[in-house]
Amino acid sequence: MAGSTLGTIFKITTWGESHGKGIGVVVDGCPAGLSLEEKDIQCFLDRRKPGQSKFTTMRNEGDQVEILSGVFEGKTTGTPISMIVWNTDQRSKDYGNIMEVYRPGHADYTFDEKYGFRDYRGGGRSSGRETIGRVAAGAIAACFLRSLGITVTAYTRSVGPYEVKEERFDLKERDQNRLYMPDKETSLLAEQYLEEMMGRKDSVGGVVECIIDGVPAGIGDPVFDKYDASLAKAVMSIGAVKGFEIGDGFLASRALGSENNDGFCMEPDGRAKKVTNHAGGILGGISDGSRVVFRAAFKPTPSIAQPQKTVTRQGEETEIEIKGRHDPIIVPRAVVVVEAMAALTTVDLLLANLSARMDRIISFYREETE
Amino acid sequence: MAGSTLGTIFKITTWGESHGKGIGVVVDGCPAGLSLEEKDIQCFLDRRKPGQSKFTTMRNEGDQVEILSGVFEGKTTGTPISMIVWNTDQRSKDYGNIMEVYRPGHADYTFDEKYGFRDYRGGGRSSGRETIGRVAAGAIAACFLRSLGITVTAYTRSVGPYEVKEERFDLKERDQNRLYMPDKETSLLAEQYLEEMMGRKDSVGGVVECIIDGVPAGIGDPVFDKYDASLAKAVMSIGAVKGFEIGDGFLASRALGSENNDGFCMEPDGRAKKVTNHAGGILGGISDGSRVVFRAAFKPTPSIAQPQKTVTRQGEETEIEIKGRHDPIIVPRAVVVVEAMAALTTVDLLLANLSARMDRIISFYREETE
Amino acid sequence: MAGSTLGTIFKITTWGESHGKGIGVVVDGCPAGLSLEEKDIQCFLDRRKPGQSKFTTMRNEGDQVEILSGVFEGKTTGTPISMIVWNTDQRSKDYGNIMEVYRPGHADYTFDEKYGFRDYRGGGRSSGRETIGRVAAGAIAACFLRSLGITVTAYTRSVGPYEVKEERFDLKERDQNRLYMPDKETSLLAEQYLEEMMGRKDSVGGVVECIIDGVPAGIGDPVFDKYDASLAKAVMSIGAVKGFEIGDGFLASRALGSENNDGFCMEPDGRAKKVTNHAGGILGGISDGSRVVFRAAFKPTPSIAQPQKTVTRQGEETEIEIKGRHDPIIVPRAVVVVEAMAALTTVDLLLANLSARMDRIISFYREETE
Amino acid sequence: MAGSTLGTIFKITTWGESHGKGIGVVVDGCPAGLSLEEKDIQCFLDRRKPGQSKFTTMRNEGDQVEILSGVFEGKTTGTPISMIVWNTDQRSKDYGNIMEVYRPGHADYTFDEKYGFRDYRGGGRSSGRETIGRVAAGAIAACFLRSLGITVTAYTRSVGPYEVKEERFDLKERDQNRLYMPDKETSLLAEQYLEEMMGRKDSVGGVVECIIDGVPAGIGDPVFDKYDASLAKAVMSIGAVKGFEIGDGFLASRALGSENNDGFCMEPDGRAKKVTNHAGGILGGISDGSRVVFRAAFKPTPSIAQPQKTVTRQGEETEIEIKGRHDPIIVPRAVVVVEAMAALTTVDLLLANLSARMDRIISFYREETE
């Protein structure tokens, strides 16, 4: 089935394989009149680019985005925005040994089972490079949100067992930090740990946390298209994500109702506000005006240079050691991917919410015809 | 937006409020020729029915399902299956006090913000009764799966801090257990804990675990419509779910690659098989032929009889004590809802997978015309 | 596949067979706050009801609609509106002879080919009764449109060879006319013709024309979801429709560019306006502010009492004479169905258009948060 | 709204403006294992290319397609197929005069009304060049159909008042004919007529007819997603199409039931077959195994060099003469676009039909696991 499209109103369709000609995305449903330049996209892509530090793969791709349509004289036109990033550094010979052997933790086996064969050069459509399209589209979504005063900020919350301490949390630290961690002290311990594991030819997982500030109350739908459910799907669709939590998440399952419920009080501006935010900004699937907070658990990079037991396409047991350039941890480069998925989901639901109330629709059209 | 529909090929649309005339669902896209009777649905609904034990609300509704269309002489006809459960025991006076006051942990405030007003009798569309439609549809999905040898089994994995012990795990126990817990000893401790919290007018959360056996390899799509991402959305769309994990979930974020990767070996029947199953049966979004395993974290029931701080629609701070009949824990009755969501997601992706390979499509149509 | 849903934002799902328990529809995505009562629906249904005149079948069904959800204290709540009409007068014995024999012009054969068997009592899902759900949903769409000053008006344009004359066109005539024809003189000739054909056990076709007044410019999308293309699908999905035209339709294929192009002039109110309307109110798939005009061609009722050549399910050639109560012409009762489909399509595209422009979205959300 | 996507299972998304960098399409949901090369696409694109004869615009674009993803070693991989045609001959200066003035019969005015502004270089997204993406995708759909023995063949049925005569109909003539007309004698008259109208700076319309051979019975859904309704939308979404007919179309509205019904007989191979085909191969929205036949009416090219009354963006009345290179008739180049839309619709419904029957689904999965 056609599973490369996300969204109902703000709809993105990604395409491209890690070792094909390029990677791209078409964004359909972006409103007309949003200011947009290639550099708005590029700054997002630069955050997921390889080769940024010793903890990211040394593939040296420029990953320069090109906007092919949908933008005219610096503004979106309301028609589809097509973007492409050419693949320039494939070195497909590096990957020759995986043609016949299934890499543990990868989708090689499942692609063969589903499609009968696969593009064996790199991960094909399951490669991390597939996220380029998501990030390029997410950058547009982020521009959209900024114009409504909404910001999406993700960061590394933990690397293996090393987790950010609340008391040292400093968001400014994030952007100078090689691990995108808003806690310098923890990040130094995490770096040591990472180097040790790299020395053992092993890899490490971690958790990304994301906060969305400024979402007005009322976003999301009460049944299947709940805001948190939609975030869950978007975030779980990132390769390597194994868990998702909104607000207190799994901890809420151990709390009491009297602890977990967020009471309401009145703000000086006359708005109701939750006193606490165990819910993570969403009640009954609909945003409540508080900060939205969620987390995603990433597994360790599956590509490791240790020998691993596996089998060949022909059904022989064998061992594999995965050579080549691979991140020892996915998390730092995935931070911007999480932001992208959160932004895309939020924009789609903001647009859906335009049709929630008859009174507003009537005043929208009355204004237009005046 | 229209958020009451789930699925692309096997599509369900639910409707109804807790205190309206009834609750229902339309299942569109169910293949023709599936044997189906009302009792196949009823036995699922009976598992979520209130009034089963002291831990479930005493609302005494029969919750009898009626099939209105799409089934003829005991078989589905390929046309929409409409089902209804009439509401017979609303007692809407019980809920009068929530008309003007926002209940903490409920969607009262967010409904008002989104729609400008709400059906204040009970939770309306956010009530647990909304899941009747899901369960009725899920029962059909479960029949479908059974005919392919696939079974979906969920159970209570933890109640507050009390978690099933692997060494005492006994699935047969589940169906005799008031908490749907496959570990009698733990369930007795959990019952004690529940009674204590009920005495304090408090409520408790927990975790549901679900296993899907018999799914062939190849189900799910590699990008946005990953099997695990689709399960995440379906399960997170159940009210009160705050977290979702596939396989090792958040634990995987603390593991090493060498620990978390599942190696492959060959089975006597000539099939490749994973030696372990940290992945939870899904690789790159596609089923790998192993058992699918996921968990959902439920928050404590938000309705508690303790006084809680809140505000009125008119913007005055006040306190609320929620009277009426409420489960002290949602989990036991939610077990069958989790099964329903898992079954619905699996059927939709099984049908989507029919169009994955050209060779099979050709032989499908060749056969048909012979 | 799930083909019983229409619309993207204002979404309807119909269900029910002619001889099952009832016929219904779920409308999902209707904005909150629209005033709605059962009588707003009923007056639409009464227009398609059988038994209105000698030219409509004598099945005497009350066709009383019941709203089951989504409306509270006279207003829509933003949640799904479920409606049902119970079948009360099935007389399924009348239809027994069609169990094994394929009726020419009906879907009996194609249902058997597609699904392997069929509900042989009446037309099942292909019966004209299926349109009850469309009309009930369309009535809500029409209420929505009225609140924006938009009206949808269809009428019989021709009965067999008898076509309304422009010079005698009188819309007031329509509602007193047994054939819904806005030209009394032509309708009398058409009635004579109908009676003659009924005497010969034959049936007649015709054309329905529909005008939509008050649609603001800008509705519809420029590529696949053009307003006219969407109308075409909605209208062609009515059983018995064999052709669709927007504006001059097939006549435009014989015109010259200089004749067919509609020039623009300025109105006193400062708006641009087309001097003529060959286009039928839509340019490049988007409404241009003029009246939308389209036509649908209906085939003659396929059920006729003459002997016809056909075959049995078992593959034997035979003859069939279709007894029972059948309209000699579908058109008069289909007029309201055409209106319903036009209203539904228009509402869906009006809602989609809310997200066309960034400036309006920003002012929408700014207002909301002020 | 996102209106650039067509299809549910075999899904295409087009992008690109006439004077932007290029035009493209992403095909998502194409099964794996279909043999596909760029030349399979190119031969379709060559049929819609400008500069083929004096009746087609002299824009001399190579319109070379490039496949960017989804094909590996000559076979589709089951992942999205992205294709691009670069714009190489835009000459945007030719179009400068339309920046401020609304061309009659074009979408200039409606784009401005919808989006607040537009890409005024050429028709932007409403240009005929937008069909490049449709034709490239349609070429893949045609390959798919060929592998099932299904062929789609369109041709010019009429040019202005000149219509193909049944008795001279010769499909072999079509491909040597500058007007794609399967009747040489009529085409010569039509050419004369065209030249005369070109001399008068005028333009001409016409009708395209399309036949689909080899569709098995059972394709299409009985309610909204009828095969003919889906064809209608796909075909009406081609710019300049003003009418659609299936089978006898508008003529059926003047026929009697006894004339219009197609009786059944038995074929020597034991299959039921319709004796005639007034229905055009579809009964109740589902294919009946006969040839599918439909027609589309095209308006005359709106761009003419005669002076026409119009207005400016600023609201002044003025005249416009449209210079530049424009086809005097759209029809000959639109023939392949109609084929493309028919092929795309048919493939989508063939894939949807895979899930119609439980028995076939069970045997599909049983085979797979054996």
Q: Residue B93 has what pLDDT?
A: 56
| Among the listed residues B136, B110, B120, B169, the one whose alpha carbon sits nearest the alpha carbon of residue B42 | B136
Mean pLDDT of A264-270: 93
Residues of C in contact with B22 (CB under 8 A): 68-69
Mean pLDDT of A267-277: 94
- For residues C300 and C322, give the distance between their C-alpha atoms in angstroms, rounded to a whole number: 14
Over the stretch B202-247, which tens digit does the pLDDT of each residue have?
A: 999 999 999 999 999 999 999 999 999 999 999 999 999 999 999 9
Residue C69, chain A, CB below 8 Å: the answer is no
Q: For chain D, where are the alpha helices, taking DSSP H only? A: 38-48, 108-115, 131-146, 171-174, 184-199, 227-236, 257-260, 331-352, 358-369
Q: Which chains touch D (3 or more CB pairs under 8 A)?
A: A, B, C
Half-sphere exposure for D83 (CA within 13 Å, toward CB): 30
For strand C5-6 and strand C11-16, is the pairing parallel, antiparallel, or unpaired? antiparallel
The structure tokens listed for B308 are 């809680």
Name which of C361, C363, C366, C369 to mutate to probe chain A: the one with the most chain A Cβ atoms within 10 A of its Cβ: C361
The structure tokens listed for D344 are 């795309």
For the entire predicted model, the pTM comes to 0.96
Taking CB atoms and an 8 Å limit, are B246 and A246 in contact across chains? no
Computed over every residue of chain B, the mean pLDDT equals 93
Taking CB atoms and an 8 Å limit, are D299 and C252 in contact across chains? yes
Please say if the pLDDT value at position B95 is more than 80: no
Mean pLDDT of D45-66: 73
Residues of D in contact with A368 (CB under 8 A): none
Mean pLDDT of B164-188: 95
Taking CB atoms and an 8 Å limit, are A351 and C364 in contact across chains? no
CB B231 within 8 A of CB B171: no
Taking CB atoms and an 8 Å limit, are A28 and D5 in contact across chains? yes
CA distance C121 to chain B (A): 10
Taking 50 as the pLDDT cut, the residues of chain C under it are: none
Please say if the pLDDT value at position B96 is more than 80: no
What CATH number has the domain bearing residue C82? 3.60.150.10
Q: Residue B326 has what pLDDT?
A: 80
Mean pLDDT of A154-165: 98
Please tell me which residue, D94 or A291, carries the higher pLDDT value: A291
For strand B5-6 and strand B11-16, is the pairing parallel, antiparallel, or unpaired? antiparallel
Please tell me which residue, C120 or A13, carries the higher pLDDT value: A13
Other Cβ atoms less than 10 A from the Cβ of D270: the count is 7
Mean pLDDT of D316-344: 93
Q: Residue D119 has what pLDDT?
A: 82
Out of A207, A261, A353, name the one closest to residue B105 (CB).
A261
Taking CB atoms and an 8 Å limit, are D1 and C14 in contact across chains? no
CA distance C217 to chain B (A): 23
CA distance C357 to chain A (A): 5
Please tell me which residue, C48 or D103, carries the higher pLDDT value: D103
Please say if the pLDDT value at position B256 is more than 60: yes
pLDDT band at residue B280 using 50, 70 and 90 as cut-offs: very high
Over the stretch C287-304, which tens digit does the pLDDT of each residue have?
A: 999 999 999 999 999 999
Q: Residue D125 has what pLDDT?
A: 87
Q: Residue B56 has what pLDDT?
A: 64
Share of chain D above pLDDT 90, in %: 83
For strand B11-16 and strand B22-28, is the pairing parallel, antiparallel, or unpaired? antiparallel
Mean pLDDT of D341-352: 98
CB B81 within 8 A of CB B27: yes
Q: Residue A49 has what pLDDT?
A: 74
CA distance D199 to chain A (A): 36
Q: Residue A329 has what pLDDT?
A: 96
306-325 in chain B: CB under 8 A from chain A: 306, 308-311, 315-317
Other Cβ atoms less than 10 A from the Cβ of C367: the count is 11
In terms of Cβ atoms closer than 10 Å to its own Cβ (0-12, 13-18, 19+), residue A305 is: middle
pLDDT band at residue D98 using 50, 70 and 90 as cut-offs: confident
Binding residues of B: 48, 54, 125-127, 284, 299-303, 325
Which residue of chain B comes nearest to D368, CA vs CA?
A: B216
Which residue of chain B comes nearest to D75, CA vs CA?
A: B358
Element at A199 (helix H, strand E): helix A184-199
pLDDT band at residue B292 using 50, 70 and 90 as cut-offs: very high
Over the stretch A47-69, which tens digit does the pLDDT of each residue have?
A: 987 656 666 655 555 889 999 99
Residue in the structure block whose two tokens are 């509205």: D253
Residue A357, chain B, CB below 8 Å: the answer is yes
Over the stretch C170-179, which tens digit does the pLDDT of each residue have?
A: 999 998 999 9
- For residues D107 and C287, give the distance between their C-alpha atoms in angstroms, rounded to a whole number: 10
Domain that holds residue C341: 5-369
| Among the listed residues B258, B213, B345, the one whose alpha carbon sits nearest the alpha carbon of residue A236 | B345
Mean pLDDT of A265-293: 96
Number of domains in chain C: 1
Q: What is the largest CA-CA distance in chain D?
A: 74
Taking CB atoms and an 8 Å limit, are D1 and A7 in contact across chains? no
Over the stretch D241-287, which tens digit does the pLDDT of each residue have?
A: 999 999 999 999 999 999 999 999 999 988 999 999 999 999 999 99
Over the stretch A103-125, which tens digit does the pLDDT of each residue have?
A: 999 999 999 999 998 888 777 88
Provide CB contacts within 8 A for D317, sequence distance 6+.
C264, C265, C266, D309, D310, D311
Out of D5, D16, D79, name the one closest to residue A82 (CB).
D16
Bridge-partner residues for A294, per DSSP?
Answer: A210, A246
Q: Residue C254 has what pLDDT?
A: 98
Mean pLDDT of D321-342: 92
Over the stretch C148-162, which tens digit does the pLDDT of each residue have?
A: 999 999 999 999 999
- For residues C140 and C131, give the distance between their C-alpha atoms in angstroms, rounded to a whole number: 14
Which residue of chain D comes nearest to B77, CA vs CA?
A: D357
Please say if the pLDDT value at position D291 is more than 90: yes
Half-sphere exposure for C201 (CA within 13 Å, toward CB): 9
Please say if the pLDDT value at position B352 is more than 90: yes
Taking CB atoms and an 8 Å limit, are D244 and C236 in contact across chains? yes
Which residue of chain D comes nearest to A81, CA vs CA?
A: D15
Which range is least confidently modeled, A17-21, A50-54, A126-130, D102-106?
A50-54
CA distance B1 to chain A (A): 5
Determine whether the annotation assigns residue A39 to a binding site: no
Q: What is the ipTM of this complex?
A: 0.96
Which residue of chain A comes nearest to D121, CA vs CA?
A: A72
The structure tokens listed for A107 are 């989708």
Taking CB atoms and an 8 Å limit, are B26 and C13 in contact across chains? yes
Out of D9, D144, D364, name the one closest to residue B364 (CB).
D364
Q: Residue D347 has what pLDDT?
A: 98
Q: Which chains touch B (3 or more CB pairs under 8 A)?
A: A, C, D
Q: Residue A73 has what pLDDT?
A: 93
Share of chain C above pLDDT 70, in %: 93
Over the stretch B299-308, which tens digit does the pLDDT of each residue have?
A: 999 999 999 9
For strand C81-86 and strand C22-28, is the pairing parallel, antiparallel, or unpaired? antiparallel
CA distance D154 to chain B (A): 24
159-218 in chain C: CB under 8 A from chain B: none
